[in-house]
Amino acid sequence: MTGKISLLSGRKVLVDGERTNLPFTGDGESYYIYNAGRYTVLKTEFGLEIRWNGHFNWFVHIPGSYHNQICGLCGKWDGDKSNDFTLRDKSTTKFANKFGNNWVASGYGCSGEKPPDEAGPDDPCGRAKFKAEAAKQCNILKNKNGPLKSCFGVMDDEVYLKTCQEDVCLAKEGGASKDEISSIRCTSVSSFVDECLDAGVGIAKWRSNKLCPMKCGKHARYNLRMSSCQETCTGKPKKCKEQKIEGCECEKGYVLSGDDCVDEKQCGCTDESDGKYYKARRNI
């Protein structure tokens, strides 16, 4: 596998610096990139799989042959959780910010100042007013009679609940707006739902007009259990694993052209020399 692949904000994909429509098969079928519901998926011939929702969530799956042979933001994967925050110089830290800052790749990073290396208060929900708001926002992750009840006991729901509440408290402390806090809450809940569906657990409809509504584009509709391998203008993505996921699926009679749902007659074309798909009416 050669070349440079960039998975950017908004689910934009660059291959060797050029914006690329999906699905795409690269470097003699050594890797595959395609859209699956809310995620962009990158799979390689050696078993690496990365899923990215374009905003906050990454899922990285590494084959067992790499056990005890990795380092970086995914930890050491050696069965010892105590050394997961290992820095480039092989020392360890207990501070998540310091760990994250240490592994920022050269030439990358967010605009503005980095967060401080040292952690803030041990309990970001220490203030009563923040704690109450966090409990309210994240209630769906502890409601044993709610739409996600089938996930409890299968998933580590306590970790997701704690993360959701801490994120809400930190956002409140930072002066986030009501909409921003709602978005943060929905990110935590959506991650929980994704993991639950990955585990093969069936869940009830949990989104509504008031709770984390999912907006879909033209000729697309929301589906809690859609196919991960949608039809595209070039057929179903190669090496796509068929499973049920949450996302926006194209309406009947429409297929994916990049990230848009179009009538099959409005599909573009594929350059046979490099395998790249181009949308209709685009100048090459």
User: What is the reported pLDDT for 115?
Assistant: 58
User: What is the reported pLDDT for 141?
Assistant: 95
Q: What are phi and psi of 279, to 5 degrees?
A: -65, 155
Q: Enumerate the domain spans of the chain.
A: 5-88, 128-198
Range with the poorest average pLDDT among 35-49, 97-111, 132-146: 97-111
Label residue 108 by pLDDT band (50, 70, 90). Answer: low
Calculate ∠ Cα 268-273-275, nearest 5°.
Answer: 50
Rg (CA), the chain: 21
pLDDT tens digits for 200-237? 998 999 999 999 999 999 999 999 999 999 999 999 99
pLDDT tens digits for 16-64? 999 999 999 988 889 999 999 999 999 999 999 999 998 878 889 999 9
The count of residues in the chain is 284
Three-state SS letters, 48-84: CEEEECCCCCEEEECCHHHCCCCCCCCCCCCCCHHHC
CB 198 within 8 A of CB 151: no
Give the mean model confidence (pLDDT) for residues 242-269. 94
Give the mean model confidence (pLDDT) for residues 123-152. 89
For helices 157-173 and 128-137, angle between their N-to-C axes, nearest 10 degrees: 130
Calculate ∠ Cα 222-268-243, nearest 5°.
Answer: 35
Cis peptide before 23 (omega within 30 of 0): yes
